[in-house]
Amino acid sequence: MAGAGLLRDVPQLVRLTEAVVKSTRRPVTVKTRLGWDDSTINILEVAERLQDVGIQAISIHARTRSQMYKGEANWSWIAKVKENPRMHIPVFGNGDVDSPQKALEYKNRFGVDGIMIGRASIGYPWIFREIKHFFSTGELLPPPDIHERVLAARQHLSDSLAWKGEKLGVLEMRRHYAPYFRDLPNIKPYRARLVTEMEPGVLFGILDEIEEVYSNEALLV
Ligand SMILES: Cc1cc2nc3c(=O)[nH]c(=O)nc-3n(C[C@H](O)[C@H](O)[C@H](O)COP(=O)(O)O)c2cc1C
């Protein structure tokens, strides 16, 4: 009954949320989906009842649990939550936003108070500043240069080692190199080394090499 499973037992969801709200003076927020499946979409009722027990904001992933990640997120349900005159807490929309343009379009079209971004930020944390910049200036920031990409990968690797330990830290980091270095020409051989090497010192060395080669056009073949 964790996560979206609770959407099948609204009284339990409400009781649980109320208990959390009562146990702390900090603001409690909820993130959930539209409902369990297409025939049981209950987000309108859920949002209202959770607001009534004291949550401070709600984030809604505009899919049902049965949908998993299939099809397009249906943000019109989020707009319906926003349009409910009884709702007064901030409503954040979530699902499929992967560019500044889409963030602005969805914000305007569905009237949300904020947007949550999941997958598009994996390996590309710069999406947040790109969206903020686009909202405030209407202009697109250039993508991060090689120094920033390497800096992020280096920091991520070092945090991963500190958090997960040497072996797991190295292994779990492997899936992140491709997104950090996407679109770089001829990056494949470097990536192949990054995802086979086990020695952290050597991995940091490969990252240094990538930074040097890609910041120096003369070294690029
Ligand atoms: C690796 C990964 C882990 C996730 N873990 C959670 C989680 O623990 N709790 C949750 O509510 N949603 C979780 N999600 C779902 C996201 O929060 C988000 O609702 C979903 O990815 C749709 O947004 P997006 O299109 O911006 O990715 C996860 C998604 C991914 C890709």
Q: What is the domain range of residue 156?
A: 146-216
pLDDT confidence of residue 2 = 81
Residue 194 belongs to domain with CATH number: 1.10.1200
Site of tokens 């969801």: 13
Dist. CA 14–CA 148, nearest whole Å: 44
Say if residue 172's pLDDT is above 60. yes
**Ligand 1 centre distance from Cα of residue 202 (Å):** 32
Does the pLDDT value for residue 218 go beyond 70?
no
Does residue 161 share a domain with residue 99? no
61 Cβ inside 6 Å of ligand 1? yes
126 inside domain = no
> Residue 82 class from Cβ within 10 Å (0-12 exposed, 13-18 middle, 19+ buried)?
middle
Which residue shows structure tokens 């900090």?
26
Domain membership flag for residue 100: yes
Looking at every residue in the chain, the average pLDDT score rounds to: 95
Tell me which DSSP letter residue 199 carries. Answer: -
Q: Which one of 32, 70, 94, 96 would you pick to mutate in the ligand 1 pocket, going by the greatest count of ligand atoms within 8 A of its CB? A: 94
pTM of the model: 0.88
State residue 73 phi and psi, 5-degree precision: -65, 135
pLDDT tens sequence across 74-119:
999 999 999 999 999 999 999 999 999 999 999 999 999 999 999 9
Q: What percent of the chain has pLDDT over 70?
A: 98
Are 12 and 104 within one domain?
Answer: yes
- Classify the C-alpha dihedral 129-133-135-141 as positive or negative: negative
